Amino acid sequence: MRRVLLPGILALAFTAAGAAHAAPQAWRIDPVHSTVVFNVDHNGFSRSFGRLRITDGTLRFDPANWPASSVDATIDLASVSMGDAEWDKAVRGSSLLDADHEHTAHFASDSVEKRNDDEGVLHGKLTLRGVTLPVNIPFRVNRVGKTIYGLHTTAGFSANLVLDRTKFGMTSNTGSIGTQVSVWLEIEAIRTGDGPAAADKETPDARAQ
């Protein structure tokens, strides 16, 4: 009897372990603690900085199985902030972000490559101004754990890449505005199931932790 049961028990154990390993957890991007920062050359004098807001995003992330992970995020182009109202208006305009026509940009990953214990590369597609192109985004996992008040489990990431704006149809003002745009992403994602809208329940003091 033991000889019959043992293989069956082992098979069930390996099947269960494989199923758990293949099911990354769901996370939602926290827009309060996530941002997109970019800069671009201004006629050789300096580099102008701007920010964009991530309005919606989800992750499928397993810290023990990165290749099974995925990312889907939406960026509000109308939220662009350059530190000056007129400059904001110009960047939102049709010759650059064209936010009145295409309100958002969208990134969806195709695969996740693990480079070492903390770093990897997102391979996916970015849609901006109606143009969809493949992009590779090197990233770092900063920390995965409970917040200081234990309200929820958070995963934190930093990423960066360089985009050629002309490939997305932004071909104007190349004599005064650089075509190579450096982009940084700082992302916090909250594990779903830790409580509905847990981040919204934090006080401002808690959010600062």
Q: Give me the chain's average pLDDT, please.
A: 86
Least confident of 111-115, 127-131, 201-205: 201-205
The whole-angstrom separation of Cα 50 and Cα 76 is: 13
Q: Higher confidence at residue 24 or residue 16?
A: 24
Contact 59, 69 (CB under 8 A): yes
The length of the chain, given as a count of residues: 209
pLDDT digit string, tens, across residues 161-179:
999 999 999 999 999 999 9
Radius of gyration of the CA atoms of the chain, in A: 21
pLDDT digit string, tens, across residues 85-110:
999 999 999 999 999 999 999 999 99
The whole-angstrom separation of Cα 33 and Cα 173 is: 33
- Predicted structure pTM score: 0.81
Residue 19 burial (10 A CB sphere; 0-12, 13-18, 19+): exposed
CATH 1.10.510.10 fits 24-207, yes or no: no
DSSP, res 116: S
pLDDT above 90 (res 8): no
